[in-house]
């Protein structure tokens, strides 16, 4: 975006495409295709830690219509909308304004994480980011090496509400997994 | 007696003081704005693409 400055100099303000990506995701909510969403995964973690490499944006969505556990979840309306808007697929990602996006419909734990997520802004665009305590639970549940490294970063680099974390871990049966994680990472 | 115990991380050997300072540095970087972190992420993506022999890395664009 070019902005004319007082002295006749044109200032060039660079805007990263993530802003536009989030605007598109916000449209999904405005259009009534989703009830709510929050950023999770690596970008969610990066909100709370020092910058680290990642390629994609994980978005956790609560669909308008609640789906029972054994029912088929359909993301077709969301993907149809994005496709109609001209966004294309690359592997498992849909590329929205140059950013590879993974869209996940929530399960019970993820739903709570989205509902509890921090309301924030990115370059003036409203969005939500999953808080550290829920990110830890989600990474712990996945427990790939890269997930465990993110837990370590979150625990070391940001303030984590231990009481809240313990409640979440306990509620979702992750306490033992967390104990084992701590043994592996901190008691070598 | 001064504690001279060293800590090995990969191929680096640090004193406890150095490790503490490094952790403090990381905590400080964790406080950067979301926008600044994304800017740095894009720089990392460019590096991975050009130096890291990861030609298929998608570098987020700047509009």
CB atoms within 10 A of CB A168: 24
A99 touches chain B (CB under 8 A): yes
Q: Rounded CA gap, A93 and A179, in Å?
A: 34
Give the pLDDT score at B20. Answer: 78
- ipTM entry: 0.78
Interface of B with A in 13-32 (CB under 8 A): 23, 26-27, 29-30, 32
Do B32 and A51 make contact, defined as CB atoms within 8 angstroms?
A: yes
What tens digit of pLDDT does each residue of A87-134 get? 998 888 999 999 999 999 999 999 999 999 999 999 999 999 999 999
Q: DSSP labels for A40-86?
A: EHHHHHHTTSS------EEEEEEESS---TTSPP--HHHHHHHHHTT
Do B27 and A47 make contact, defined as CB atoms within 8 angstroms?
A: no
pTM of the model: 0.84
Interface size between A and B, measured as CB pairs under 8 A = 74
Contact yes or no for A44/A130 (Cβ under 8 A):
yes
Q: Can you say how many angstroms the Cα of residue A179 is from the centroid of all Cα atoms in its chain?
A: 25
Full strand arrangement of the beta sheet holding A93-96: A88-90, A93-96, A99-105, A57-63, A34-40, A125-129, A118-122
Low-confidence residues in chain B, pLDDT < 50: 1
Do A17 and B32 make contact, defined as CB atoms within 8 angstroms?
A: no
Nearest CA to B26 among A57, A138, A46, A117?
A46
Do B34 and A52 make contact, defined as CB atoms within 8 angstroms?
A: no
Lowest mean pLDDT among A4-8, A30-34, A162-166, B55-59: A4-8
CB nearest A157 (choices: B26, B35, B48): B26
Quick one: DSSP state of residue B1? -
Do B60 and A99 make contact, defined as CB atoms within 8 angstroms?
A: yes
What tens digit of pLDDT does each residue of A126-178 get? 999 999 999 999 999 999 999 999 999 999 999 999 999 999 999 999 999 99
Nearest CA to A45 among A161, A138, A176, A183?
A138
Give the pLDDT score at A61. Answer: 96
């Amino acid at each position: 975006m070019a902005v004319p400055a007082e002295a006749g100099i044109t200032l060039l303000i660079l805007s990263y495409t993530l802003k536009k990506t989030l605007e598109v995701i916000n449209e999904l909510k405005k259009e009534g295709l989703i009830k709510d969403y929050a950023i999770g995964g690596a970008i969610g973690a990066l909100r709370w830690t020092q910058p680290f490499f990642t390629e994609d944006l994980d978005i956790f969505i609560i669909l308008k219509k609640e789906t029972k556990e054994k029912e088929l979840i359909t993301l077709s309306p969301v993907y149809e909308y994005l496709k109609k808007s001209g966004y294309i697929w690359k592997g498992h990602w849909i590329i929205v304004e140059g950013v590879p996006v993974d869209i996940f419909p929530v399960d019970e734990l993820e739903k709570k994480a989205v509902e509890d997520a921090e309301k924030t802004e990115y370059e003036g665009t409203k969005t939500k980011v999953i808080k550290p305590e829920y990110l830890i639970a989600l990474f712990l549940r996945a427990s790939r090496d890269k997930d465990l490294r993110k837990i370590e970063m979150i625990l070391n680099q940001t303030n984590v509400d231990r009481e809240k974390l313990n409640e979440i871990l306990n509620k979702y049966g992750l306490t033992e997994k967390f104990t084992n994680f701590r043994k592996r990472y901190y008691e070598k | 007696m001064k504690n001279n115990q060293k800590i090995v991380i990969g191929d680096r050997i640090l004193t406890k003081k150095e490790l503490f300072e490094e952790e403090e540095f990381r905590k400080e970087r964790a406080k950067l704005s979301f926008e600044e972190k994304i800017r740095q992420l894009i720089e990392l993506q460019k590096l991975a693409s050009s130096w890291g022999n990861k030609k298929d890395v998608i570098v987020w664009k700047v509009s």
